[in-house]
Amino acid sequence: MSSSHGDPEQGQGRRTPKKIPLDSIKEIYQKALDDLVNVNSLFTLAVFVGLSLARTGERSLENRTECDATPIYAKRLVVNEVVAFACYLLSSLVAKALKIHVTICQSDDFMLARKRLLRGGMVMLSVWASVFGCIFLTISMVDVIQIKVGVLSCGSHHAWKATAALIAIVILALSIYVPFMMTAIFSTVRNVNTPSVTTLES
């Protein structure tokens, strides 16, 4: 009876690596990192579009003097756009470095605990750098709205509506993106541990 109970457990242990092969885990990493770099590239284009709108002396579309933006809005726009660009650059470079690490890393080294922690930390750094880039880009887009449409302090209805829609959509997108990405990171780190434990026990 004990042997009959032991065989299914051993069979289940041997089947675990087939569920999550190492090549599949590497492929998941590479696809996720490629998608992250592509998204950062699109946001980087938006950064340069925002920088092109950082001009002083423009009249707002409200056509009221009190709704015209002062030079401080253009300065703040440039600062936020530069910080957003730096965040996207950091995210893309870390993602590219991690992709190279995943590609050339051998199976034995890939299973090491410190390498798993290194990969998880690098992915989290890349993801959070992209998230902070989105935050600074959103702040800069609010300044673009105030420069082109009218400052919020003058009570411009269109400026308030555009700002509210922008912030609401960004918060919704980040509230979906961050939890799912964090879940994928931690589940991938745990799943890599399963084959290594199985192979050591066998």
pLDDT score recorded for residue 47: 82
d(CA 142, CA 74) in angstroms, rounded, equals 11
Distance between CA atoms of residues 104 and 20, nearest Å: 19
Task: Give the pLDDT score at 38.
Answer: 84
* Chain-centre distance for alpha carbon 89: 12
Question: Is the model more confident about 17 or about 159?
Answer: 159
Predicted confidence (pLDDT) per residue in 34-64, tens digit: 778 888 888 888 888 777 776 666 777 777 8
Residue 180 domain-assigned?
yes
Determine contact, residues 200/127, Cβ cutoff 8 Å: no
Residue with tokens 């998204």: 39
Q: How far apart are CA 28 and CA 99, in angstroms?
A: 11
The answer to whether residues 99 and 30 touch, using CB atoms and an 8 Å cutoff, is yes
Percent of the chain with pLDDT strictly greater than 70: 72
**What pLDDT score was predicted for residue 120?**
78
> Domain residues for 149?
24-191
Handedness of CA 109, 112, 114, 117 (dihedral sign): positive
Q: How many domains does the chain have?
A: 1
Q: What is the pLDDT of residues 99-149, one digit of tens each?
A: 887 777 766 666 677 777 777 788 888 889 999 999 999 999 998 888 888
In a domain? residue 19: no
